[in-house]
Amino acid sequence: MLIPIKQVLSKDEVRQFRNHLDAATWQDGLHTAGTLASAVKRNLQLEDGVEPALSLGNHILRKLAANPAFISAALPDRIYPPKFNRYQDGGSYGAHVDSAVMQVPGMPISVRSDLSATLFLAEPEEYDGGELEIESAFGIQAVKLEAGDMVLYPSSSLHRVTPVTRGARIASFFWIQSMVGDAAARTLLFDLDQAIQGLTDTLGRDNRDLLKLTGIYHNLLRRWAMT
């Protein structure tokens, strides 16, 4: 399932990010492509683990930790330190699947990629092309969101970024290891949580049946969560 998370960053935060990113030195993305991906990857990336990637990445992680929509959708266990990329001058990323296990650079920690995230840092009208195309059971879905918005999609899905023919597409991207590794179970929990939130608005949070449903949500999570 493809889940948009609106306004992870405010427009003001996006402006501050862009001040740093537009002044930064970008490297050829081939430095970091796995063997599977290197043949199809044509973009620029920011060096990991140093400024400004470090501070901007940590800012994103702090915002996500306080974002109920993200927590509900991802049920995050571990998050890979956010990376940053830039597509311009016809740059693209051909169809690929993300690696299943990502080693965190300089740390004895790995992240199983259950979910992939793209946080858009350029407005759609700043560039032509640059759609994130994700293959799903329902066909190809093209994603191009407002700056500050993020999309979550299954890391197992085949996806690509179409060539950017005008301007620059700037984004942050990273992977999430979920407490609930099974995508179908995670989707059920997300749907149940959304329904509970909707009913809370109409019935009030003291409604007895709603309390039972909330209990079922947590008991399923207790059954399925692996931390």
Residue 132 C-beta: closest distance to Ni ion, Å:
9
> By the 8 A CB rule, do 189 and 220 touch?
yes
Q: Which of 171, 162, 172 is nearest to 90 (CA)?
A: 162
Residue 118 C-beta: closest distance to Ni ion, Å:
9
CA-CA distance, 98 to 16, in Å (whole number)? 29
Residue 174 C-beta: closest distance to Ni ion, Å:
11
DSSP string, 25-53: --EEGGGG--TTTTTTEE-EEPPTTSTTH
Residue (37 or 185) nearer to Ni ion, CB: 37
Residues of the shown chain interacting with Ni ion in the complex, contacts defined by CB under 5 A: 98
Residue (98 or 114) nearer to Ni ion, CB: 98
Residue 202 C-beta: closest distance to Ni ion, Å:
39
- % helix, strand, coil for the chain, step of 5: 35, 30, 35
Residue 215 C-beta: closest distance to Ni ion, Å:
38
> By the 8 A CB rule, do 73 and 190 touch?
yes
Residue (39 or 203) nearer to Ni ion, CB: 39
Residue 197 C-beta: closest distance to Ni ion, Å:
30
Q: What is the CA radius of gyration of the chain?
A: 18
CA-CA distance, 160 to 143, in Å (whole number)? 11
Cα angle 136-142-146, degrees, rounded to a multiple of 5: 130
